[in-house]
Amino acid sequence: MSLCNELESKLRKEREDSQKLMEAVVKGLLEGAVAEKTELEKPIPLQAAVVKMK
């Protein structure tokens, strides 16, 4: 019986760890997307725009 309890405890811990990892990955992706969006929304200085067009 103690072996079953130990296995159940390990499985529960693994599930919790997996969920925490997945949440961290999603959070990182969302934060990266927000940072990327912010970077894309920055205006381009006029001089840089003219140089890029040449």
**pTM higher than 0.75 for the full model?**
no
Which has more confidence, 51 or 43? Answer: 43
Residue 42 has a pLDDT of 72
Residue 51 has a pLDDT of 55
Mean pLDDT of 47-52: 56
DSSP label at residue 54 = -
In whole angstroms, what is the distance from residue 19 CA to residue 25 CA? 10
Examine the pLDDT at 48 and tell me if it is beyond 70.
no
Confidence of residue 47 (pLDDT cuts 50, 70, 90): low
- 40, with CB counted inside 10 A (0-12, 13-18, 19+), is exposed
